[in-house]
Amino acid sequence: MTATTSPAAAPETPSPLTDVTRDEASLRRFLHGLPGVDQVGVEQRAAGLATRSIKKEAKRWAIDTAVSMVDLTTLEGADTRGKVRGLAAKAMRPDPERQDCPRVAAVCVYPDLVETAVEALAGSGVRVASVATGFPAGRTSREVKLADTRQAVEAGADEVDMVIDRGAFLEGRYLEVFEEIRAVKEACGSAHLKVILETGELATYDNVRRASWLALLAGGDFIKTSTGKVSPAATLPVTHVMLQAVRDWHERTGELRGVKPAGGIRTTKDAIKYLVAVHEVAGEQWLTPELFRFGASSLLNDLLLQRRTQVDGHYSGPDYVTVD
């Protein structure tokens, strides 16, 4: 695997898939006409790729790439402005003693803390992401979901992470889910939209594929596995299915969309398994924070420890990094 530059913006041409969303019947026919996922096959391939090792000289690059893809996240009821400021400081300088350590991609907070994050990260290049739409359950009216989104964007959020209505999806009300994602995308304005599928509640890989395509059809810039509040959260096989979706979307439309696994990714070894999957399933072009992110906080701590090991030649204990 080698580093890659950020891709060019997607061409501004009408999607050739527009007709499939004209009504419920057309959308259902399209989604249920997608190739079924071979459960055994995708799990075996994920397990096989997870055993791949990378050369020692490439490990430092992999660690730095993973650091640059982290959405440093705090989504707790007890979050304070002070905690967000501390997280922002860590995002900008993950390892204060190592000036060459890359910044993370974004800091992700609740809408009411976006303004604090924006102020703390001003001029740093680290983006501010905000969950919205009644996160994590999404059990509220569309009016409230859109107000939630607008609050985040008006406060300065660069990215919005929305949750889909899993109940509507599982009942087969696909057009309703599609229209809600489109409405949220419109409310985002210039902010990027990450669509959380909550794959742990979708039950099957076929549903993950259908939900991925539904989110892409509706304009999601990223498809994201999980809120981190439901188990299982991110898994390698599910991420494989989602990477296949964005790869196939690109082949059909020419548009590049991203993937964000979130929840349960805690170690450098785990992160490298996901980077291998990105390279082998979607392609090298996706090995950039513009198209792949990790939704995590504890992951960053281990990445920093392993980075010090690579640089210094010996293991540094957890006392050498800030622990969230």
Residue 185 annotated to the active site: no
Q: Which amino acid is at 91?
A: A
**CA dist., res. 22 & res. 85, Å (int):** 45
Q: Read off the DSSP letter of residue 279.
A: I
Output the six-digit token pair for 320.
């050498």
**CA dist., res. 273 & res. 60, Å (int):** 14
3-state secondary structure of 109: strand
Q: Which amino acid is at 253?
A: T
Residues with Cβ within 8 Å of residue 174, at least 6 apart in sequence: 24, 27, 28, 31, 210, 214
**CA dist., res. 71 & res. 166, Å (int):** 23
10 Å CB burial of residue 34 (0-12, 13-18, 19+) is: middle
Q: Are 161 and 224 in contact (CB under 8 A)?
A: yes
Residue 324 annotated to the active site: no
- Of 71, 260, 273, 302, the active-site residue reads 260
- Of 161, 165, 221, 270, the active-site residue reads 161
Of 304, 281, 264, 295, nearest to 50 by C-alpha is 281
Q: What are phi and psi of 72, to 5 degrees?
A: -70, 120
* Helices 39-50 and 268-277, packing angle to 10 deg: 120
Residue 161 annotated to the active site: yes
Give the number of other Cβ atoms within 10 Å of residue 317's Cβ. 8
Distances (CA, A) of 250 to 4, 30, 275, 287: 17, 17, 19, 15
Residues with Cβ within 8 Å of residue 286, at least 6 apart in sequence: 243, 246, 258, 259, 278, 279, 292
3-state class percentages of the chain: helix first, strand second, coil last, to nearest 5: 50, 10, 40
- Of 145, 194, 224, 273, the active-site residue reads 224
Active-site positions? 161, 224, 260
